[in-house]
Structure 1
């Protein structure tokens, strides 16, 4: 199933602060598990979502560079936390604070990825939105997406370094 072209509606797909959105993917990022909260908030049935690329819920306001950072971190076998804006099937959006971890087999090889996502506080979203807008601006200002992602990651790393912090400490400081 390819996702039909959907435009953001500007409406929020709501879920409660105590709910956890859970999904698992294979090594290529195809969904192998989605809990009921994920299905409800994203607006897909289990049959529609299984086997689909996880980026089926990617919102256009989400910087590609943050996902590159996420995938690069996971490839090293490390976990990562990130604020993510997703887009439901109907174009509504929902923010999450994601904790993404690699899954390993008995020999220690990465076999897939597991993500638990909680609803961030509105104040956290207010703090991350201007940063994400700047990263998207840098990305779209480059002639090629790859160059834009590289420039955006460099900007983010330099900004964090100038503030004497790391990405992980920054995410938890918001």
Structure 2
């Protein structure tokens, strides 16, 4: 497995429907993921899920965006070839003219090395806790860390 990189000034963009099925991906999304556009459209976004990604982060992400709020998160994704790439994701709900959520929009940029030096060991701990006690155990660890720092999740993520 090799890490795949993209530029500091490049952005990966995708859109999904309410169920997380991909409805749009920009050229960088297809290039970095290793999939052809036809393979991505209508595929579940979790096709990119890397096994080193804590389920808790996706739980937080889905709960937040389904409540109509934006979220920022660090995510490691897996390419079609089995390689991986890190992103700093900003995910927001998309609305129709009646104010109903009709899907989700994600813009992802390259994370800083400083942020990854904090996130990688944290995700390792969260994964270990998930393997032992499930998502609830990793949630307890994250809540403890946030309480110790006196920060909400989003404040913590944006501070690194």
TM category (shorter chain) comes to over 0.9
Residue deviations 1:81-137, cap 9 Å, x none? 000000111111100000000001111111000000000111211110010001100
Provide structure 2 residue ranges, at least 5 long, that are not aligned to the other structure: none
Match of 2:138 in 1: 152
Q: Residues of 2 paired with 1:89 and 1:96: CA distance?
A: 16
**Aligned residue-pair number:** 160
Provide structure 1 residue ranges, at least 5 long, that are not aligned to the other structure: 1-8, 143-147
Q: How far is the alpha carbon of 1:157 from its aligned partner? A: 1.5
Query: After the TM superposition, which segments of 4 or more aligned residues of structure 1 sit over 4 Å from their partners?
Result: none
Match of 2:150 in 1: 164
Match of 1:70 in 2: 61
Tell me whether 1:25 sits opposite 2:11 in the alignment.
no
TM-score (norm 2): 0.97
Q: Residues of 1 paired with 2:89 and 2:43: CA distance?
A: 19
TM-score (norm 1): 0.90
Match of 1:53 in 2: 44
CA RMSD of aligned residues (A): 0.8
Q: Residues of 1 paired with 2:74 and 2:35: CA distance?
A: 22
Match of 2:120 in 1: 129
